Amino acid sequence: MTRVAIVTGAGTGIGAATARLLSTKGLAVVLVGRRAELLEAVREEIGGRTLAVTADVGDRTAPERIVAETLAAFGQIDVVVNNAAVIEPSPIDAVTREAFERHYAVNVAGPFFLVTAALAALRASDDAAVVNVSSSLGTIVMPDTTLYGSTKAALEYLTRALAYELAKDGIRVNAVAPGGIDTPIHETYAEDLQATLADLARRLPIGRMGRPDEVATWVWSLIAPETRYTTGTVIHVDGGHVLGLPESAGG
């Protein structure tokens, strides 16, 4: 039976790359994101058994609607990839309550409640898996990333807690933690995109930005049937970012 995967933030970057790869592996893919035109472009590229659901995972009503539309189209849910996120760098004394609540709504509450909304379907699956997309900033600290980094640290704790709680149901839960990946998310906050990307790259021991497909490969690995014995793990796909700042970068 064809497995069905929900991928959030699927219009660009890691989400789009993951959707493409899962489709090539034979999964039906539900593309979730805020911008219908981006989702439709990915859906047309992939073809096959795909569904696009326009939704903001930070909206309280979104998880139930995403699950309902998925079940209406395919009748099952086997995989959830929680990739959607927001990042709005800011000094702590400039953080607003609105920004705080938005980060936690999208980056923490969204993944948690999407999994709980899909729980009955995941329990019914013979090969259920959840992958949460965290960040190297869930482990290390960079200036002005208090909100984003703290949400990713919370997401990694949720990964371990859900893995423990759901193991008895045969649902494995893991995470990937990218760092310095060349995706459009940087355009949402960078005043000088090229300077921002160059600064990120110089902080990586491996010496370059990563590609979305390099993260997607690990998402697939963590939901593949061959890794059914793996749960509660966070895989760093970050060019060595968490290892520390290279000497050549200074500081």
The residues annotated with a catalytic role in the active site are 148
Let me know: does 52 contact 45? Beta carbons within 8 Å.
no
Q: Half-sphere exposure (CA, 13 Å, Cβ side) for 223?
A: 32
CA of 167: how far to CAs of 118, 170, 226, 231, in Å? 15, 5, 16, 8
Annotate 47-85 with b (16+ C-beta within 10 A) or e (fewer): eeebbbbbbbbbeeebbeebbebbeeebebbbbbbbbbb
Structure tokens at 119: 């729980």
Residues 6+ apart with CB under 8 A from 178: 14, 133, 134, 135, 136, 210, 215, 237, 238
- CA dihedral sign, ordered 84, 88, 94, 96: negative
List, in sequence order, every beta strand (DSSP E) within the chain: 4-8, 28-33, 50-54, 79-82, 128-133, 171-178, 234-237
Query: Do 78 and 127 touch, CB atoms closer than 8 A?
Result: yes
